Structure formats: structure tokens, C-alpha cells
Amino acid sequence: MDTIFFEQMAFYAYHGAFAEENKLGQRFLVDLELKLDLSDAARNDDLEKTIDYGLVYQAVKAEVEEQTYALVEAVAERVADRLLSDFLLLEEVRVKVTKPDPPIPGHYRAVGVELYRRRS
């Protein structure tokens, strides 16, 4: 299985369990690994045999920025569902959603979730 990846797509959204997160918003970073067979696309230099990166970005942006969820787990799940629904060549997806600046005390670089889903 081959991989298309996206690293640290940045979005501003209003997800969180605290009221101030829903009101003020914050940055979210999304990483993806899209698993599919890219051999035909590579051999034939054919965009129709792969996944359009711009369309992936727009789908992720819509899921992250147009809804509000209490949990980043829900954001990641919606992104995975949308990608598997929209891109029929996609077999498996890994979605990582990171909150680099969550409103919780302590010293850390970021918090987030990572999930893996496959077409059933």
C-alpha cells in the first residue's frame, strides 16, 4: 500500500470542552496519511488514478472549520469519515489532530489524538 501524506495543515476553529475555546477559538494542526495503490498513477502520470491533494485539503478544512465539537476525537473521526466517503480510491486513513495551545496548565509542546480508519 502506498501513502500520500499531509503534515501540519493549520486551521483556526472553535472546538473544545471549555466555553472560552468555543468563543475565542484556537489553532489546530492536522496530519494525514492516506493509503491507496498509486502504481497506476505513477506509471501513467494520471491524476485520475490518484487523489487530488487540493480536494483533500478543502475537505479537511470544511470538517475542521465549519463545525464545533467538544472533543478533538470527534474532529478526527469526522475528517476520517469524510475522506473515506469522498475519495473512493482511499483504502485507509490515519488522522492526527493536534492542539498546540490548549487552555490547560502545565508544560508540553502540544496535545491531540491520532486515529486510524479503513474502508470496510
Classified by CATH at the fold level, domain 2-118 comes out as GTP Cyclohydrolase I, domain 2 (3.30.1130)
- The reported pTM is 0.94
Using DSSP bridges, classify how beta strands 92-99 and 26-36 pair: parallel, antiparallel or unpaired. antiparallel
Of 23, 35, 49, 99, which residue is the catalytic one?
Answer: 99
pLDDT at 105: 87
Whether 99 is catalytic is yes
Q: pLDDT tens digits, residue range 64-116?
A: 999 999 999 999 999 999 999 999 999 999 999 999 988 888 888 899 999 99
| Alpha-carbon gap, residue 94 to 115, rounded angstroms | 6
Residue type, 87: F
pLDDT at 111: 93
For the chain, the domains span 2-118
Residue 117 is inside which H or E element, if any?
strand 111-118
Sheet of 92-99, strands arranged across: 2-13, 26-36, 92-99, 111-118
pLDDT higher for 107 or 55?
55
pLDDT at 56: 98
